[in-house]
């Protein structure tokens, strides 16, 4: 059931993109990148329309997990270089560990929180992070 009209959810997505200076211009993307971006957008707009994700007054996404044990809201702050450098602290080939470390750094939470999440919640958090890193 939708709590927020899809058109409004898409406007909120665009506000997030603009506030966080995420490049969403398709002229800067290849065909595969456009498809991936559209899939990410679909997931984020869907989470907004369900009321699971809100964009706060500064444009940061705030996700409230629905299926995981810890249901405290998670704010995804605009990343810094230090957040990205967190990936370098993990061994190559441990992509999820590296992703969880980056997510923990960006949200100012412990990375183990993401390791304990149910897939529904994790996929939304992962999508938000990937949009920031693209």
Neighbours of 71 (CB within 10 A): 11
Residue 30 within a domain: yes
Asked if residue 33 lies in contact with residue 87, where contact means CB atoms within 8 angstroms, the answer is no
pLDDT for the residue 92: 60
pLDDT, tens digit, for every residue of 72-131?
Answer: 999 999 988 877 776 666 556 557 888 898 899 999 999 999 999 999 999 999 999 999
Residue 113 within a domain: yes
Residue 134 has pLDDT above 80, yes or no: no
Contacts of 34 (CB under 8 A, 6+ apart): 26
How far does Cα 125 stand from its chain's mean position?
A: 5
Residue 1 within a domain: no
Residue with the two structure tokens 């706060």: 56
pTM: 0.90
Domains identified in the chain, total number: 1
pLDDT, tens digit, for every residue of 3-49?
Answer: 999 999 999 999 999 999 999 998 889 999 999 999 999 999 999 99
From CA 112, how far away is CA 31, in angstroms rounded?
35
From CA 51, how far away is CA 95, in angstroms rounded?
29
pLDDT for the residue 101: 87
pLDDT for the residue 95: 78
Full residue range of the structural domain in which residue 107 is found: 6-133
Could you please report the per-residue DSSP string of 27-40?
GGS-HHHHHHHHHH
Neighbours of 90 (CB within 10 A): 17
Residue 90 within a domain: yes
Residue 34 within a domain: yes
Tokens of 129: 């992070």
């Amino acid at each position: 059931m939708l709590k927020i009209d899809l058109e409004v959810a898409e406007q909120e997505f665009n506000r997030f993109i603009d506030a966080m200076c995420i490049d969403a211009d398709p002229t800067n993307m290849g065909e595969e990148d456009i498809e991936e971006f559209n899939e990410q957008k679909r997931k984020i707009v869907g989470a907004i329309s369900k009321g699971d994700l809100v964009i706060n007054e500064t444009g940061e996404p705030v996700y409230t997990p629905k299926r995981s044990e810890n249901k405290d809201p998670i704010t995804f702050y605009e990343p810094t270089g230090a957040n990205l450098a967190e990936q370098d602290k993990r061994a190559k080939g441990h992509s999820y560990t590296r992703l969880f470390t980056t997510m923990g750094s960006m949200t100012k939470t412990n990375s183990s929180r993401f390791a304990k999440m149910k897939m529904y919640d994790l996929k939304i958090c992962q999508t938000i992070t990937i949009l920031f890193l693209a």
